[in-house]
Structure 1
Amino acid sequence: AEIGSESPLPGIIRILEKLKDKYKILIASTRSTEFLVKQVPVADGYIGICGLEILVEGMLIYPLKALDKARSSLLHNLAGTLKTSCLRVELKKNMMGWTMGLGISWRRCVGKPVDVIGVEEKAVEAGLYLFKYQRPFLEIYVAEASKARGVSFVRRLLGLNWVSYFGDSESDMEVFPEVENPVFVRNENNKHMNPGNVVEVRQGDLAGFLERLL
């Protein structure tokens, strides 16, 4: 599931530690892999930067196109043109320090700032990959980014024949049809979303839900 800027509740981490005795624990997120490792050190593997960087079994794995330094430099430079004070900008760097993704939020702005529109246009011209959300939020990646593809790759690599996937973001929706047990975590930020035919659990009830898997 998506990992936000705040640390997961210690109770959730303790439950994940216990679940490791029965299951492989994998984290998929649009955030950087390094950030995920620090936040959830108990996991067996990480699908970071929306699938563009995978850390599992002691290996770092990338799509070939994601390692194009010219595209990385271009995206890094585009981020530097975002000057509007109300913007929240997140550089998504891989474990080697290259910029592979860019998150832009203008939720605190009045309308979409001109510099965001300019970056979006230049990214399209350069052939970068854009993920547009229903919220005032945009992500740009150096290559086609997909959590679903990352999850599919890791499950083949580890030989997993059954996957329970917990997600709460628009970028998780493509994963749900690909797994055996999709679980949508409902919270204040995704009231607008309709994930379809999935198990649904409120974020406040997540710890209890996970404990029942022990």
Structure 2
Amino acid sequence: MPKILVVDDDAAIRRLLRNTLVRADYAVVEAANGREALAQAGAEHPDAVLLDLGLPDRDGLALIPLLAAGRVILVVSARDATDEKVAALDLGADDYVTKPFDSEELLARLRVALRHRRDADAVQSVVTRGDLTIDLDRRSVRRGDAEVHLTRKEYEVLAVLARQQGRVVLHKQMIAAAWSGDEDPRIEYLRILIRNLRQKLEAPGPIGSVIANELGVGYRLLGA
């Protein structure tokens, strides 16, 4: 039973999160501020932390590097500014959920982050999403029985997304993988590349069924 540390100064939010997590068979410990969060992390050794940023004694962003070693950090905050999300992810958070949140989506994000952390030491060479198969060893991509032909840059971006399937990947991480500093890495280039990838990878239907956009932050390859 994974243990989750809930850090939020709002008792009603802590109660909601506790009930949601207990229903999903997680063990739960709580903290109302940064000092308690650090103490609980040291005493209880949680597998993951659901962290609010607006704490009374210190900014939650400052806690991320202190809490992140060896455990999942899922920020759950009312702050919805893009720079806040990017800062949290840069500091080591695994994901970012904005309040008010959907409980089932939060649980799904938590499951993905825990699974990714658990499998971090394992080499996963084949990644799937529906009928899409990405073989990272062979550098091949298939939809059903048909091979999908990608440009070098398209493949490099897809590989970064595949290695972190289910997790948001920052724009700058994808740009660094595809352009490697040899061209002007403008965000418009990445958006065009993602549009082309979607046309090649997604079956007819709603845009974002394979690659989801995290507005202003990055993209994620959705889980299988």
Same fold (TM over 0.5): no
Structure with max Cα Rg:
2
Instruction: Pick the structure with more helix per residue.
Output: 2
Q: TM-score, normalised by structure 1?
A: 0.30
